[in-house]
Amino acid sequence: MALKNKVALITGSTSGIGLGIAHVLAAEGYHIVLNGFGDAAEIEKTRQEIESKFGVKSIFAAADVTDYNSVAAMVADAESKLGAVDVIVNNAGIQFVSPIDEFPLDKWNQIISINLTGVFHGIRAALPGMKKRGYGRIINIASAHGLVASTGKGAYVAAKHGVVGLTKVTALENARANITCNAICPGWVLTPLVQKQIDDRAAKEGIPVQQASDELLLEKQPNARFATAEEIGAMVSYLCSDGARNVTGTTLSIDGAWTAQ
């Protein structure tokens, strides 16, 4: 039972936050375009599970978000196979931590390319079809670090602040086109990558995993509770709803009061 045959494309959706978003939207009847990297067999299993569990269509595209032509081809393929890209969630991102004066130049370029330029590529590729059809929902997964900063994360903070600015411009340019653009700014979300950070911290400091988790949370997130990928998905779902058609050009935080401090 596809929701008016709507199609959602989520970058970086083979695991973590992106996959959680895909599951939430598929449960509501959206056809899903998965994108990302990983083991081909596991990705195919994930794709098939979405189709069988939620009764929707799902395709996978291995587009590199740093390559505009690759992203444009992914959008064109989705429009050809599924009829449209009504929703694009620009979620793909990476992290690297280092002081600015020691930050590897290749890591800076990679983070800006994936976390910021990749979002621009997704928006630019999806907009023509959205304008033609007179409908679109663009959702950019930024971060609490799109609103505030932390030491050691110069490239990530710069990229995510850029995503927030790009979101505002996109919303302004399409304000009368029935196309909204918003940014979601999560704090700590318990994904496999974050769990690895916790496990590594526990091993390095010789402390229990739970203690490492608590310390990580309390450094930034006052409610001491991780957000979940499904909670991010619920916010995406709201932004795609008719009730959010006047919500555009803004940021929505899911950060346990991190940025309230």
Indicate which residues carry an active-site annotation.
156
Rounded distance between C-alpha atoms, residue 43 and residue 60, angstroms: 8
CA–CA–CA angle 230, 138, 170 (5° rounding): 140
CA–CA–CA angle 211, 141, 134 (5° rounding): 155
Residue with tokens 């269509």: 57
Closest CA to 114 of 190, 191, 37, 32: 37
Rounded distance between C-alpha atoms, residue 238 and residue 233, angstroms: 9
What is the CA 33 to chain-centroid distance, rounded? 13
Closest CA to 116 of 148, 137, 134, 94: 94
β-partners of residue 41 are none
3-state secondary structure of 45: helix
φ and ψ of 174, to 5 deg: -120, 25
Which residues, other chains included, contact 41 with Cβ-Cβ below 8 Å and sequence gap of 6+? none
Fill in the DSSP letter of residue 220: T
